[in-house]
Amino acid sequence: MTSPADNPTPSLSAGEEQLAQASTGLVDTETYIDPELVALCRESAADGTVLLRNDGTLPLRGGSRIALFGRVQIDYFSVGYGSGGDVNAPYSWNLLDALRDGGQVTVDGDLAASYTRWCAENPPDEGTWGNWPRYFEEMPLEGEAVRAAATRADVAIVVLGRAAGEARENTLTQGSYYLTDAEKSLLDAVTSAFTHTVVVLDCGNVIDLAWLDQYGEAISSVLYAWQGGMEGARAIADVLTGVQVPGGRLTDTIARSYADYPSAPNFGGLEHNDYAEDIYVGYRYFETFAPNAVLFPFGFGLGYSRLDVVATAYVNDEEVTVTARVSNVGTEHPGAEVVQVYVQAPDGELGMPARTLASFAKSRRLDPGESESLHLAFPIASLASYDDSGATGHRSAYVLEAGEYKVFAGTDVRAATQIASFTLSELRVVEQLTEACAPAAAHPFQRMILDRDDAGRAVVGWQDVPTREVSRRERLQARTVPVLEQTGSQAVTLADVAEGAATLDEFVAQLSHEDLEALTRGDAVMDSPLGTPGNAGVFGGITASLRAKGVPPITTTDGPSGIRLAAYAALLPCGAALASTWNTPLVRRLAAHHGEEMVRKGTHVLLSPGMNIHRDPLCGRNFEYFSEDPLVTGLIAAAVVAGVQEAGVAACPKHFACNNQETNRNLNDSRVSERALREIYLRGFQICLAQARPHTLMTSYNKINGAWSHYNDELCTTILREEWGFEGTVITDWWMQRAVDPDFPAVADDAYRVRAQVDVFMPGGWFDHVSGGFDTTAASSLLDSLARPDGITLGEVQRTARTVLQLVLALPALSEEIIRNSRERSLPFMSSARRERP
């Protein structure tokens, strides 16, 4: 969220810096955080920690003497930057203090004192909006100091940190994707002096790890800590000392070099990016075409004990059921395992990846000698592919092609072994749809496809991407939206609707054009006086007229890593950390307590979860997002949404869709085939919506095949509403681009958006890219268009107003307030404590 005017250059205007919404002035200074939420933050951060390498050095034995290296032990990255991380946490642990506090090991005091003194004298520069640091300069350290520490300590722990964020991409430079010379020198000195060296990676994104091969056995253990929030460092201390086990598994493939990623040639473009790798994102590409380019495979992660998995499968005409017995066959340590089920579909006419994740489940923590049986099931229909070319004879349809389907189970994509197979004797059409969001003929490109050489080996082939055939104009003209006859009555309040004394249609029918228009936008500014201080924006009852009719203001707040207000709130583990748990019940419990904190803090819509696909490791917001895989993304997001909404408030998944880079994100065009769009970039959203039914959804800044998402009727109506059945409220990301509908010139800006069923423009005021200021007084183009015979129709505007009001009635936190306020207004000397705006 937040910046409406990203520059491809790092400098930002004063106006743009205002959009950071940094909550520097606390209004609410209460530091209380629910202890159960604190405990869940710590548990989740530990459960998401991925152990990549271990020779037995970890867990550290009780009483071990350790030497901590790297300034990030003190200046710890608890979260990334931007709207997904700018939370006023009441505290945040660093690793030095966490290890000392844990009392399990002895931290070398002389070395710690040197780092503490140097870090205090050289505080890190946290930068400004979009110009945050990606790393912190290391403390110079002489080799003699390292060798002296080795005489006092048994184990060295080197802490390396990286950050990126909103409007701040990772780059192929030292201090970002690559190690700095100072970090290399530090590793050289430490591995030369110590027999046992542990590396802790405090990073929100995947970075280059090719240097691990250079050090070989000199580096004993590698722990990917991610960014674990305010309790993250304590969680890592727990894992290092064996209080907790490293429960995480990679949700991304870590390749040997950046150039190995299939997105590398088409990432970071200012005007557009061709998604030329098509469906072959992440492990789908590597396992099919380039297995030798993988350093750590998707789903990989070690534990402190050996857990065996024995799986069997049963297949009927509609479903595959897998039973997996997980057993801790070790003798010293507990452990938990993620059972992952993959399917290899036949090549057919469309071509398929070597493996596709079909289901997963995580065992409970098992003590040595304990076992648990897990049951996983998935419909065969979920394996269908989208034919966007008609190659199978069924264009715009999900199909299962004839042939043999192989089922694999194991602990990562590479280790999974075949446990079953089944054969479809003929093609099945699973779902016949219509073309939507296809690439424009004016912007053709080629996509990667599966080919075979003479020996039957998979090789990369290329074909032209199918382009648009359907007339958007004709599609829109065929839609009719019923009109409610305006009554002009003022007798019905929203409280009457909430109590069942009137219908919502009766309420909407009495609204004036001005009331209707106000329901389609926010209150113009962030930190609206109608909401809790520090809010991201308010919509709903933003005018006195609407509030008089009982419509309350709806307060929105970021975000994925905590509630972003002018108040203290819990700083949660970042999205990458949560997804790495592969533990949906745990994520849901954490989110449920997060939802309860929302209620206590007075906010109604959480702008979370962020769930864009990790298409490329350089995307600055990957720390907020979950995975390169849409199933992991969808199920983790569904856990977040379901948990938050247990508290009676709303979650708002974002950014719909293809927000896969920060560079020039407001103007960039994501050019992607229909097949890749549906199978990779939309599937996670579809899974989340089907499983958790979020009340709200946020569009993205970027274009998709030439159409900005906030004007994209095929995305937000054809697919989202008509195909998926979404009935909730769609809001824009903060600020949007002005545009005229290319097929209907009388429909522009807000009218263009409302026609696409993007209900609410947030925060509701226009950003002036020339002056760098905000225009909060300009009349909405919606009313102008509504007055024209060839403009937006009254029925379309009423439809949007109805959707927003349904959100109000659906949230217990708001519907109860509506009824309570109505009853209070009927009593003398009663008034609302809410800050009022005329």
Predicted confidence (pLDDT) at residue 8 exceeds the cutoff of 90: no
* pLDDT at res. 769: 58
Structural tokens at position 105: 């090991």
Q: What are the pLDDT digits (tens) for 300-324? A: 999 999 999 999 999 999 999 999 9
Closest C-alpha among 609, 587, 602, 601 to residue 656: 609
* pLDDT at res. 130: 85
Predicted confidence (pLDDT) at residue 471 exceeds the cutoff of 50: yes
Predicted confidence (pLDDT) at residue 20 exceeds the cutoff of 90: no
Q: What are the pLDDT digits (tens) for 199-214? A: 999 999 999 999 999 9
* pLDDT at res. 832: 37
CA–CA gap between residue 505 and residue 515 (Å, rounded): 14
What Å distances lie between residue 600 and 90, 625, 830, CA to CA? 16, 26, 23
Predicted confidence (pLDDT) at residue 838 exceeds the cutoff of 70: no
CA–CA gap between residue 29 and residue 801 (Å, rounded): 36
DSSP assignment, residue 533? T
* pLDDT at res. 768: 67
The dihedral through the CA atoms of 365, 371, 372, 376 has a sign that is positive
Q: What are the pLDDT digits (tens) for 641-655? A: 999 999 999 999 999
pLDDT tier, 822 (very low <50, low <70, confident <90, very high otherwise): confident
* pLDDT at res. 766: 81
The answer for residues whose C-beta is within 8 angstroms of residue 151's C-beta and 6 or more apart is none
Q: What are the pLDDT digits (tens) for 49-85? A: 999 999 999 999 999 999 999 999 999 999 999 998 8
Number of alpha helices (DSSP H) and beta strands (DSSP E) in the chain: 24, 32
Closest C-alpha among 707, 688, 708, 713 to residue 800: 713
Q: Which of 239-248, 340-349, 522-531, 822-831 is the least confident region? A: 822-831
The answer for residues whose C-beta is within 8 angstroms of residue 324's C-beta and 6 or more apart is 309, 310, 311, 339, 361, 373, 374, 375, 376, 409
pLDDT tier, 781 (very low <50, low <70, confident <90, very high otherwise): confident
* pLDDT at res. 813: 84
Work out the average pLDDT over 99-108.
96
Work out the average pLDDT over 435-455.
97
Predicted confidence (pLDDT) at residue 266 exceeds the cutoff of 70: yes
CA–CA gap between residue 525 and residue 647 (Å, rounded): 27
Closest C-alpha among 13, 21, 5, 11 to residue 526: 21
pLDDT tier, 834 (very low <50, low <70, confident <90, very high otherwise): very low
Calculate what percentage of the chain has a pLDDT beyond 70.
94
The dihedral through the CA atoms of 700, 702, 708, 713 has a sign that is negative
pLDDT tier, 25 (very low <50, low <70, confident <90, very high otherwise): confident
Work out the average pLDDT over 615-632.
98
Q: What are the pLDDT digits (tens) for 283-294? A: 999 999 999 999
* pLDDT at res. 776: 57
Give the neighbor-by-neighbor strand order of the sheet with 385-387.
385-387, 397-400, 428-432
pLDDT tier, 274 (very low <50, low <70, confident <90, very high otherwise): very high
Catalytic site residue from 733, 741, 749, 750: 733
CA–CA gap between residue 230 and residue 232 (Å, rounded): 6
Element (H, E) at 97: helix 95-102
Domains of the chain: 51-244 (3.40.50.1700), 285-453 (2.60.40.10), 492-825 (3.20.20.300)
Peptide bond preceding 390: is omega within 30 degrees of 0, i.e. cis?
Answer: no
Query: Can you tell me which residue has the tokens 């006419």?
Result: 349
Torsion of Cα atoms, 230 then 236 then 241 then 246, to 10°: 130
Predicted confidence (pLDDT) at residue 395 exceeds the cutoff of 90: yes
Peptide bond preceding 14: is omega within 30 degrees of 0, i.e. cis?
Answer: no
Predicted confidence (pLDDT) at residue 736 exceeds the cutoff of 80: yes
Structural tokens at position 627: 């995975």
**Distance of alpha carbon 834 from the chain centroid:** 32
Closest C-alpha among 449, 443, 493, 490 to residue 468: 443
Strand pairing category for 403-410 and 417-424: antiparallel
CB atoms within 10 A of CB 509: 17
* pLDDT at res. 162: 97
Active site residue 308: no
Half-sphere exposure of 314 (CA within 13 A, CB side): 6
CA–CA gap between residue 91 and residue 89 (Å, rounded): 5
The answer for residues whose C-beta is within 8 angstroms of residue 277's C-beta and 6 or more apart is 262, 263, 266, 285, 447, 448
* pLDDT at res. 606: 98
Mean pLDDT of the chain: 93
Predicted confidence (pLDDT) at residue 10 exceeds the cutoff of 90: no
Q: What are the pLDDT digits (tens) for 226-261? A: 999 999 999 999 999 999 999 999 999 999 999 999
CA–CA gap between residue 359 and residue 632 (Å, rounded): 9
* pLDDT at res. 816: 83
CA–CA gap between residue 363 and residue 81 (Å, rounded): 33
Strand extents, DSSP E, 249-366: 254-255, 272-274, 294-296, 307-315, 319-328, 338-344, 356-362
Torsion of Cα atoms, 257 then 258 then 263 then 265, to 10°: -110
Q: What are the pLDDT digits (tens) for 514-560? A: 999 999 999 999 999 999 999 999 999 999 999 999 999 999 999 89
* pLDDT at res. 126: 86
**What pTM did the predictor assign?**
0.95
* pLDDT at res. 21: 42
